[in-house]
Amino acid sequence: MSSTELPEAVAATAAGPRVSAVRVAEGERLRSVTLPGLTLNVRHRPSERTGLPPALYVHGLGGSSQNWSALMPLLEDVVDGEAVDLPGFGDSPPPDDGDYSLTAHARAVIRLLDAGERGPVHLIGNSLGGAVATRVAAVRPDLVRTLTLISPALPELRAQRGAWPTALLALPGVASLFTRLTRDWTAEQRVRGVLGLCYGDPGRVTDEGLRNAVEEMERRLSLPYFWDAMARSARGIVDAYTLGGQHGLWRQAERVLAPTLLVYGGRDRLISFRMARKAAATFRDSRLLTLPDAGHVAMMEYPETVAQAVRELIGDGRGGDDRPDGAAGIDDNDGS
C-alpha cells in the first residue's frame, strides 16, 4: 500500500484527466491510498487532540466524501475522522476490475481499514454507504466499534417513488439513454433536481453550498466513467436487495454486534420513514433518531443534531432533555 498526502490539490491518475480539482474545505486534507487494483481518495480532518479513536465516513450513491464536510468538524474533538470516496466516486478512480457491487464496495472499505490498521473504527454511512457499512460490520465485527446509519439503503418491499429512477438506472442501456435525453441540462439544473430529491427542505442549502455543488457536478460530468459508476453501483444495490439467505442485508443486520445509531428523515423521498422501526427491531443493540423535517441526507441538513446523537452513541449516552433542536427523539432498543 502507498499513501500520498494531497493537502492542496489532487494529483492526476491514470483513470482520466482532471478538469478541476475537488474542493477541500478549511481544515481538511486529502490523501490517495493505492491498493492492488484500487486507488481510494480519503478526506481527513486532523484534530488538535491526539490519541482519539478513529472514525470512517462512507457516502451514498452519487455522493462523495464532501457529503461529510458539515459533520466532520463537529466531531473532530471526539474522533479522528476520515471520509472515503468509494471507487468511481468523488476523486477515486474506477476499480481495475470494474466491480461496483455492494460486496465490492464493502471489500474496498475493509481493505482500506486493514491496510491503514485503523480498526476498529466508529463507522458512519449514508444511503448506499449505510448498506456498505452494515455489510462491513456484519462480516468484520473486529473492524467496527460503533455503527451509525443515516437513511441506510436496506431492502424495502415497496420502494419509495423517488427511488424508482435509481432502480431504472440499473437496467442495461438506461444510463446512456438518460445521458442523451439530458444532454442539454445544465449542471445547476441537475444539482437542483438532486437537492429536491435528497433534502427535506432544499431551501436550507446556502448560496455558497449551491455554488460548490454545481462546481462539483461540472467536474463529475467531465469524467468519462461517471455514468458507468452510477449505473453499475445502482445495479449493485438492486442485486443486493434481491439477495437472500445469510448474505441478505437484513440477515446481516441481525448479525451486527456493534452498538448502532439509526437516523431516519420524515421527508426522505428515497428511503421510507416506515423502515425506521423495522431497522430498530433488527439491529440488536440500536437506538433510533427520527428527524421529521429531514430528507435523505440528515448529516448535511441537521449536522448539529446528528453530531450530538453520534456523541451520545460513542459515549454510551442515552439522550435526555438537552436534545438539540430538530430531533423528534432517540429511542433505545437493547434487543430484548
Report the 3 state secondary structure along 267-325.
CCCCCCCCHHHHHHHHCCCEEEEEECCCCCCHHHHCHHHHHHHHHHHHCCCCCCCCCCC
The predicted model scores a pTM of 0.84
Q: Which alpha helices (H) appear in the chain, and where do they start and end?
A: 102-116, 128-139, 164-169, 174-181, 187-198, 207-221, 226-242, 249-255, 275-282, 298-301, 303-314
CB 88 within 8 A of CB 115: no
Identify the pLDDT of residue 166.
55
Q: How far from 203 is each of 109, 173, 184, 206, 252, CA to CA, in Å?
A: 33, 34, 25, 8, 37
CB 151 within 8 A of CB 129: no
- Surface-to-core class of residue 320, CB atoms within 10 Å of its CB (0-12 exposed, 13-18 middle, 19+ buried): exposed
Identify the pLDDT of residue 230.
87
Helix (H, G, I), strand (E, B) or coil at 30: strand
Q: Which of 210, 221, 156 is nearest to 188 (CA)?
A: 210
Identify the pLDDT of residue 159.
54
Q: Which three cell numbers stand for residue 2?
A: 502507498
Helix (H, G, I), strand (E, B) or coil at 327: coil
HSE, CB side, 13 Å, CA atoms: give it for residue 175. Answer: 18
Q: Cis bond leading into 95, ω under 30°? A: no
Q: Which of 204, 211, 215, 207 is nearest to 299 (CA)?
A: 204
Radius of gyration over every alpha carbon of the chain, rounded to an integer in angstroms: 18
**Ordered mean pLDDT values, 10 residues apiece, the chain (336 residues):** 38 42 88 96 91 96 94 96 96 96 96 92 97 97 98 77 49 52 78 91 92 92 89 85 80 96 95 93 97 97 98 69 42 49
Identify the pLDDT of residue 17.
44
Domains of the chain, by residue range, sit at 2-333
Amino acid at 237: I
Distance of CA 131 to the CA centre of its chain: 9
Q: Which of 64, 3, 57, 11 is nearest to 226 (CA)?
A: 64
Identify the pLDDT of residue 321.
33
Identify the pLDDT of residue 260.
98
CB 217 within 8 A of CB 23: no
Second-level CATH architecture of 2-333: 3-Layer(aba) Sandwich (3.40)
Q: How far from 268 is each of 28, 138, 310, CA to CA, in Å?
A: 29, 26, 20
CA distance 300 to 303: 6
Q: Which three cell numbers stand for residue 153?
A: 439503503
191: CB partners within 8 A, 6+ apart: 210, 213, 214, 217
| Residue 148 main-chain phi, psi, to 5 deg | -120, 125
